[in-house]
Amino acid sequence: MLSSLILAATAAVPAAASAIQRDSPNCFPYGSAKLPGSLQPPSVSHDQWWCPQSMAYGFQGFSYPLENDDCNAWENGHDAMDKDFKQMKKDFGASIVRMYYPTCTKTAVFEHALEAAYNNNMAVVFQVWTNFGGGADSMQDVWKKSQQAIYDVLKNSKYKAIAPYVVHSAEFGSEPVGDGMDGDNFVNDLGSFRKTLNGHQIPVGISEDWDRPGKMSSNDGKSLGPIGKGVKANSDVAHVHPMPFYHDYNGKVDAAWPYIQKQTQWVVDHVGLPTMISETQWAWGKTDHNAGKADVGPQQYIKYWKTIDNNCEWFRDRKVGWFFHAWRGEDTFDIVKPDGSYAIPNWRPRKC
């Protein structure tokens, strides 16, 4: 049965399948449930398949950058994804892969991610690529092409039956509000995307930084802002970006965890939807991302992620999950270094 929160959030659209419905450990993707193989759907109902929200806390997996717009590039192919997904699961215990900036706007990149996740008994989060809300005139509506690619995959008879059992959720952009994507039509188009995905039993949200006073939050930070209200009303999940790396320009890594706690708790309290930290980051070396950031380096990076991991019980108490940003492709944010070694050696996130 859907939780009251999901029911309230989806009252005006077909029932969403929150990734979070039952108490049996024989469930997916955190329990013992296994996909049957050969791209066939499980023989159980959708509601029986997904694990309950009570299990959806702590480490989920990695943000997986797909920032090559050449749809034929190796990294956009099935073999590359299958190899990486297998490695994430084996070495770190990942359960879900979050697609990040899939700049190929054809169906292939989503088909390959879906198949690779299926083959590794993992879930995947689809994401609409928004081109930072702008670009050249011909790219202003790139999100529509990305969105249509997702729609086409879900309508394809090869994937239609398995997608509701593998696609954990779908993000209508990464920081679309911060980028000003789609202007005044944004909330309405989010609602349309949600209605379509809910029709395939896939929950929807946006991946966004809610620390945007006057937009996502009120100017005084005590309530939802005007866009935040619209986003909440048209979402099934909250995928959030508590990002001390950017918000405190000269800040130290020691101040990062209190900021993450504060921002995440704010979303739990004010948005009230199943919540995951979809993006947060630190750098193990100098980076063009916030290039003036001083407190970066291997030890700061390790401290940042191990502090998050060591607070597994905090996440468990709030039923909040988190993704590591990123796997490979985001400079010194990456866990996988250019030589193939890990930026945090001999580490596997806790289960608590």
Residue-wise DSSP of 119-150 = HTT-EEEEE---GGG-SSGGGTTHHHHHHHHH
pTM summary value: 0.92
User: What number of other Cβ atoms are within 10 A of residue 74's Cβ?
Assistant: 9
Res 73 pLDDT > 70: yes
Q: Is the pLDDT of residue 347 over 50?
A: yes
DSSP H helices, the chain, are 4-9, 46-49, 78-92, 107-119, 142-155, 163-166, 186-198, 226-233, 244-247, 256-270, 298-310, 312-318
Each residue of 258-292: pLDDT tens digit?
999 999 999 999 999 999 999 999 999 999 998 77
Tell me the average pLDDT of the chain: 92
- Overall domain count for the chain: 1
Read off the pLDDT band of 20 (50, 70, 90): very low
Q: Which two tokens stand for residue 90?
A: 């084996």
Tell me the HSE value of 40 on the side-chain side, using a 13 A CA sphere: 7
Stretch 179-203: mean pLDDT: 97
Note whether residue 15 is domain-resident. no
Residue 6 lies in a domain: no
List the domain range (segments joined by +) for residue 233: 57-333
Please report whether residue 101 resides in a domain. yes
**For residue 11, is it within any domain?**
no
Interval 118-153: pLDDT, tens: 999 999 999 999 998 765 444 568 999 999 999 999
> Does residue 290 form part of some domain?
yes
pLDDT over threshold 60, residue 9:
no
Residue 47 included in any domain: no
CA distance 106 to 146: 7
Please report whether residue 228 resides in a domain. yes
CATH number at residue 301: 3.20.20.80
Task: Decide if 1 is inside a domain.
Answer: no
The confidence score (pLDDT) of residue 291 equals 79
Q: Report the distance separating Cα 99 and Cα 76, nearest Å.
A: 11
Mean pLDDT of the 175-180 span: 95
Closest-CA residue to 286 (of 276, 278, 294): 294
